[in-house]
Amino acid sequence: MNRAMSTKDQLLIGLKRRKGAWISGEALAQEMAISRSAVWKHICALKDEGYVVESSRKKGYLLRELSSLLLPNEIQEGLNTNVFGKRKIAYFTQTDSTNLRAKDLAHEGAPEGTVVVAEKQIQGRGRRGRSWFSPLGEGIYASIIMRPLISPNEAPGLTLMASVAVAEAIQTLTSLNVHIKWPNDIMIYGRKVAGILTEISTEMDRVDYVIVGLGMNVNISHENFPPDLRDKATSILMETGKTFPRVTLLRAYLEEHEKYYELFTLNGFGPVLNRWKQLADIIGRRITVDLMEHRYTGEVLDIDREGFLILRDHEGRMQRIISGDVTLLND
Amino acid sequence: MNRAMSTKDQLLIGLKRRKGAWISGEALAQEMAISRSAVWKHICALKDEGYVVESSRKKGYLLRELSSLLLPNEIQEGLNTNVFGKRKIAYFTQTDSTNLRAKDLAHEGAPEGTVVVAEKQIQGRGRRGRSWFSPLGEGIYASIIMRPLISPNEAPGLTLMASVAVAEAIQTLTSLNVHIKWPNDIMIYGRKVAGILTEISTEMDRVDYVIVGLGMNVNISHENFPPDLRDKATSILMETGKTFPRVTLLRAYLEEHEKYYELFTLNGFGPVLNRWKQLADIIGRRITVDLMEHRYTGEVLDIDREGFLILRDHEGRMQRIISGDVTLLND
């Protein structure tokens, strides 16, 4: 599944194997069967990618620090999945939106498990045409292509599945208390740390592809959010007080994603939905949902197997709502 | 809305205005403000497009017969719509599939009302990856782009809507007795004359675009069908005994399509569904539906407002089925 490894990637492995010890340029050159000046050239390329490599005329080279970029080879190193992230990872320093890139790839036939990652999005998008603040190198902007053998009405369940995977990844790595706000906002103490944008291409009775895009605020500080977001948004940095390696979070997300996707494929939406309900804490609450031109108010009775919210209004009428903007009401 | 008119199109209008009478090359040249040799060049181009133009050294030119091709200017002439077919019509002598071309256009942002037409499809497609027999110049292969402001679960209704539009167009022009076989086959005396392939691109709570592709057997003779289709397929030619101008049928379809689309937009799916039920004659029938790996057998109770078939099996259990292959059972 892995792409053919470049000389630069091999050199990186050679440096990593020394675990912070020096290695001479000559030894590296021999190991790679390339010239010493080629070694030097590739070291420069690694530095350009953000790796901190020290060099000394006497001692050679030493890998001091990994790149802080979300480089495909770093994502894949130690990634414990079979499919997601193991196929092509399309990497952009900057792009319009990872979902748009993923749609283009899916449109051209990219297989399930393909991932698009960007350090920065110019037109980072949220639900319903909203924007997603996507500054360079401080968030995770990643889109996953799936090709599930399900009927179109089951596809919305994958959004809820993705929000479970994101919540689990953050919770496991940071021990922070994470909640899901229906349908797909990931919250910490009432502020949004991540969101999901799902895009689905179907025939009437068969899904062609589903793209799940993740935007996660990882190392964005309070001051670095635009003023209008400061009260609503949070980040892992803000909640834990320290920067967090994005690659570790992304790997954990891909692993959780694959775990729940397999569960969904084998056992249907039930188990995923149960975990979602535990994380969402919405059932029994009184809420208002704004969807397109409608506003629904009532008590949440359940989330059904197609991901719809079942709401009972004050006259006892039931509403089945697929998505919308939720406001919790104080009783 | 119309594209800028080319000199060739203007010349065609000049010829049509004579209604089968001769006009001299000199008069045409003056009218168009071009040279006589330019007139001759454009007449040749019109002949290449299938127009039958007679020429005489003494009398000039005479338009004997319109092209039998589905040329955009012929489709648009006298087309009584506001949107569908009035925007871009992408015309192909031959293409892989009009739905694939329409998806590419929609993906690039083509507006609602855009139409793709082909004389022949190399990979004409039906539902669930099946092929659609698409010989040159004998059928209508057309795909329409819609961008309805509806939620994704309403989108399947547009398939039923399109099948109503097709049935109405055929019935009005030919007086043939047309039935719809759920969800979207158009039948004459038990044989398929047309089919619809719907492809939908959505976010979770908002439709991006819907493409409705039509394949209609117009002037295909019994012998020209592949042997395995001869018992199942029919054409307008086979049912009426004469060739039918495809452009007239396509125009009628676009007009019916717009009429029902406006009805759907204004009044929801109810009125369309009522007309569908009249044309479908399926309610109360015992059927078998094959969908993915499941087979459902029972009595059809209803088609609901989202286009689902409501089936009651012999134990009284209800099934709600979005699509599948229907077999009518003899009681």
pLDDT tens sequence across A274-307? 999 899 878 888 888 887 677 888 888 888 877 7
Average pLDDT over residues B311-330: 77
Q: CB–CB of B208 and A198 under 8 A?
A: no
* Residue B330 confidence class, pLDDT cut points 50, 70, 90: low
Q: How far is B108 from chain A (nearest CA, A)?
A: 10
Contacts of residue B150, Cβ cutoff 8 Å, sequence gap at least 6? B207
Q: How far is B155 from chain A (nearest CA, A)?
A: 9
For A207-216, A264-273, A306-315, B193-202, which range has the lowest pLDDT when averaged over its residues?
A306-315
Q: Nearest by CB to B292, from A107, A151, A202: name it.
A: A151
A294 touches chain B (CB under 8 A): no
- pLDDT at A308 exceeding the cut of 90: no
A151 touches chain B (CB under 8 A): yes
CATH number of A72-280: 3.30.930.10
Q: CB–CB of A291 and B159 under 8 A?
A: no
Cβ atoms of residues A297 and A324 within 8 Å: no
Is the ipTM here above 0.85?
A: no
Residues 85-144 of A with CB under 8 A from B: 103-104, 107, 127-129
Q: Nearest by CB to B323, from A149, A199, A204: name it.
A: A204
B149 touches chain A (CB under 8 A): yes
> Considering only CA atoms, which of A263, A251, A227, A68 is closest in space to residue A148?
A263
* Higher-pLDDT residue of A3, A131: A131
Taking the domains of chain B in order of start, what are their residue ranges?
A: 7-65, 72-280, 286-328
Q: Nearest by CB to A203, from B127, B149, B292: name it.
A: B127
pTM summary value: 0.79
Please report, as a single letter, which amino acid is at residue A257: H
Q: Torsion-angle region of residue B268: left (phi > 0), alpha (psi -120 to 50) or beta?
A: left
Average pLDDT over residues A25-53: 91
For domain B286-328, give the fold.
SH3 type barrels. (2.30.30)
Contacts of residue B175, Cβ cutoff 8 Å, sequence gap at least 6? none
Q: How far apart, in whole angstroms, are the C-alpha atoms of residue B255 and residue B83? A: 10
pLDDT value for B3? 52
Q: How far is B165 from chain A (nearest CA, A)?
A: 18
Average pLDDT over residues B157-174: 94
Q: What is the DSSP string of A176-211?
A: --EEEETTTEEEETTEEEEEEEEEEEEESSSEEEEE
Can you tell me whether residue B327 is helix, strand or coil? Answer: strand
- pLDDT at B281 exceeding the cut of 70: yes
pLDDT value for A1? 37
For B103-112, B226-235, B290-299, which range has the lowest pLDDT when averaged over its residues?
B290-299
Buried b (16+ CB within 10 A) or exposed e, A140-177: bbbbbbbbbebbbbbbbbbbbbbbbbbbbbbbebbebe
Can you tell me whether residue A252 is helix, strand or coil? Answer: helix
> Considering only CA atoms, which of A133, A2, A172 is closest in space to residue A75?
A2
pLDDT value for B4? 64
Q: What is the largest distance, in Å, between two alpha-carbon atoms of chain B?
A: 82
A156 touches chain B (CB under 8 A): yes
DSSP A229: G
Please report, as a single letter, which amino acid is at residue B296: Y
Given CATH 1.10.10.10, say whether it is the number of domain A7-65: yes
Task: Enter the tokens of residue B119.
Answer: 């004389």
Q: Nearest residue of B to residue A212 by CA position?
A: B203
For A86-90, A184-188, A232-236, A317-321, which range has the lowest pLDDT when averaged over its residues?
A317-321
pLDDT value for A125? 80
Please list every residue in chain A whose beta carbon sits closer than 8 Å to the beta carbon of residue B292: 149, 151, 205-206
DSSP A94: S
Task: Enter the tokens of residue B70.
Answer: 């589905």
**CA B277 and chain centroid, separation:** 21
**CA A310 and chain centroid, separation:** 28
- pLDDT at A331 exceeding the cut of 70: no
Please list every residue in chain B whose beta carbon sits closer than 8 Å to the beta carbon of residue A291: 151, 205
pLDDT value for B323? 67
Sign of torsion over alpha carbons A215, A216, A219, A222: positive
pLDDT value for A2? 45
Q: Nearest residue of A to residue B184 by CA position?
A: A204
| Number of helices and strands in chain A (H, E) | 9, 14
> Considering only CA atoms, which of A84, A20, A18, A57 is closest in space to residue A262?
A84
Task: Kindly state the helix (H) or strand (E) to which residue B291 belongs, with its residue range.
Answer: strand B286-291
Q: What count of CB pairs under 8 Å joins A to B?
A: 91
* Residue B1 confidence class, pLDDT cut points 50, 70, 90: very low
Q: Nearest by CB to A205, from B103, B127, B204: name it.
A: B127
Q: How far apart, in whole angstroms, are the C-alpha atoms of residue B36 and residue A28? A: 78
Average pLDDT over residues B297-310: 83
> Considering only CA atoms, which of B67, B124, B19 is closest in space to residue B246?
B67
Q: Tell me the backbone φ, ψ of residue B13, rounded to 5 degrees.
A: -60, -40
Distance (Å) of CA B16 to CA A129, B20, B91, B189, B247 = 48, 7, 22, 39, 17
- pLDDT at B293 exceeding the cut of 90: no
List the beta bridge partners of residue A192: A187, A233
- pLDDT at A105 exceeding the cut of 60: yes
Q: How far apart, in whole angstroms, are the C-alpha atoms of residue B327 and residue A179? A: 48
- pLDDT at A81 exceeding the cut of 90: yes
- pLDDT at A168 exceeding the cut of 80: yes
**CA A284 and chain centroid, separation:** 30
Cβ atoms of residues A25 and A11 within 8 Å: no
Q: Please provide the average confidence, as pLDDT, over all residues in chain B.
A: 89
**CA A103 and chain centroid, separation:** 16
Q: CB–CB of A103 and B107 under 8 A?
A: yes
Question: Where is mean pLDDT largest: A225-234, B250-259, B316-325?
Answer: B250-259
Task: Enter the tokens of residue B23.
Answer: 């006009």
Q: How far is B319 from chain A (nearest CA, A)?
A: 14
- pLDDT at B327 exceeding the cut of 50: yes
Q: Alpha helix locations (H) across chain B?
A: 7-17, 25-32, 36-48, 72-76, 98-107, 157-174, 236-240, 246-267, 270-280
Cβ atoms of residues A285 and A328 within 8 Å: yes
Q: CB–CB of B202 and A206 under 8 A?
A: no
* Residue A112 confidence class, pLDDT cut points 50, 70, 90: very high
Q: Please provide the average confidence, as pLDDT, over all residues in chain A.
A: 89
Q: How far apart, in whole angstroms, are the C-alpha atoms of residue A195 and residue A217? A: 9
Can you tell me whether residue B220 is helix, strand or coil? Answer: coil
Average pLDDT over residues B188-212: 91
Q: How far apart, in whole angstroms, are the C-alpha atoms of residue A285 and residue A282? A: 5
How big is chain B by its Cα radius of gyration, in Å?
A: 22
Q: Nearest residue of A to residue B154 by CA position?
A: A153
A319 touches chain B (CB under 8 A): no
> Considering only CA atoms, which of B149, B176, B185, B173 is closest in space to residue B255?
B173
pLDDT value for A323? 67
> Considering only CA atoms, which of A169, A148, A6, A198 is closest in space to residue A80?
A169
A324 touches chain B (CB under 8 A): yes
